[in-house]
Structure 1
Amino acid sequence: MFRQQPRVPQNCPPAFQGRYTVLPGDTFFTIAQIFRVRIEVLAVNNPHITNPNQLFPEDVLCVPSFIPYPCCTILYPRISVPFGTNGVANVNFAPRGGQAISFAATLPHPTTFGNFDMYTGEISIPGIGGFGNQLYGNPQDPPVWSTRIDLPTAASIMPNSFLVIRPFNSVTGRSGAIILESIIRSGNCQSQQ
């Protein structure tokens, strides 16, 4: 039985740095809808697919993004932190289209850093603004705290986007000092494609 070898681009155009792996049933039309781009634009930016009407599972397409993704970046301590404190952020596709960023970090209880009862993960995108969400801890000691931020489809993560995790007081609305941080650059965003 003949099996089509996946078609993978050698590189992607500057504004199409993201990569999408085709799933069974995907078409150029459905993929264009997910990424809010015209089919013609998707086809032009994927010349390794000679017939846009014929996609195969595991083909890889270049999709609109200013950074390569899916990707992962390490969050580094900004202040003195207890041993074992660390974190990562993962940029990927959001479940309903667009982009999402997930945070996961091993952190002590927020009271370690003062009068705080939770953590927030935040991304600040140059020229667009900031988005954030509460992190939730698991029952381990110390807990792993995590969250996902689904960006509006009009927003796109760009180089020099700033990522932080900081403690927060839900009663007073006061944020604490940044605990972990990273800046997304094409060079530090490790992609597995």
Structure 2
Amino acid sequence: MFRQLPRIPRNCPPAFLGRYTVQSGDTFFTIAQMFRVRIEGLSVNNPHIQDPNLLFPGDVLCVPGLIPYPCSIILKPQVRVPFGTSGVAYVNFAPRGGQAISFMATLPSPATFGNFDMYTGEILIPAIGGYGNQLFPTPEDPPTWSSRVELPTVVTITPNSRAVIRPSNSFTGISGPIILEAVIRSSSCQPQQ
């Protein structure tokens, strides 16, 4: 039986640095809808697909994104933290289109940093603003805290965006200092080959 080898771009244009692997049933139309881009824009930025009406599962398309993703970055401590405190942020496609950033970190109790009872993970995008969500702990000691922030489809994570985790007080709404942080750069997120 003949099986089509996946068609993978050598590189992607600057505004199309994200990559999407075609799934069974995908069309240029459905992928364009998912990423809120015109079909013509998707087609012209994927010259390795000669016929846009013919996609195969496993084909890889360049999709809108100013940083290559999926992308994982290590969050670095910004204040004195207990031994073993660490975290990562993962930028990927959101389940309903657009982008999402997931946070996962091994952290001490938020009270370690003052009058705080929870953590938040935030993506701070230059010239746009911040989006965040509460992190939730696992039962281990110390727990692993995690959450996902889904961005509106009109928002794109740009270079120099900052992924941060900070403690917060759920009653007063006061946020504490940034505990872990990473700056997202194109060079820190290389496309998958």
TM tier, shorter chain?
over 0.9
Q: Does the 8 Å contact 1:72/1:191 carry over to 2?
A: no
Q: How does 1:136-151 map to 2 (within 5 A)?
A: 136-151=136-151
Cα RMSD, aligned residues only: 0.8
SS at match of 2:145: strand
Separation of aligned partners in 2, 1:154 and 1:67 = 15
Separation of aligned partners in 1, 2:37 and 2:129 = 22
Q: How does 1:7-46 map to 2 (within 5 A)?
A: 7-46=7-46
SS at match of 2:188: coil
The AA in structure 1 aligned to 2:157 is I
Aligned twin of 1:89: 89
The AA in structure 1 aligned to 2:77 is P
Give 1:128 deviation, angstroms.
1.0
Give 1:192 deviation, angstroms.
3.1
Aligned twin of 1:3: 3
Separation of aligned partners in 2, 1:79 and 1:2 = 57
SS at match of 2:30: helix
Give 1:189 deviation, angstroms.
2.0
Q: Does the 8 Å contact 1:122/1:133 carry over to 2?
A: yes
- Pick closer, same or farther for the CA change 1:88–1:190 going to 2, 3 Å: farther
How many residues in Structure 1 have an aligned counterpart in Structure 2? 193
Aligned twin of 2:68: 68
Aligned twin of 2:101: 101
Aligned twin of 1:77: 77
Aligned twin of 1:172: 172
Q: TM-score, normalised by structure 1?
A: 0.98
SS at match of 2:155: coil
The AA in structure 1 aligned to 2:59 is D
Q: Does the 8 Å contact 2:19/2:191 carry over to 1?
A: no
Q: Which runs of 5+ in 1 are unaligned?
A: none
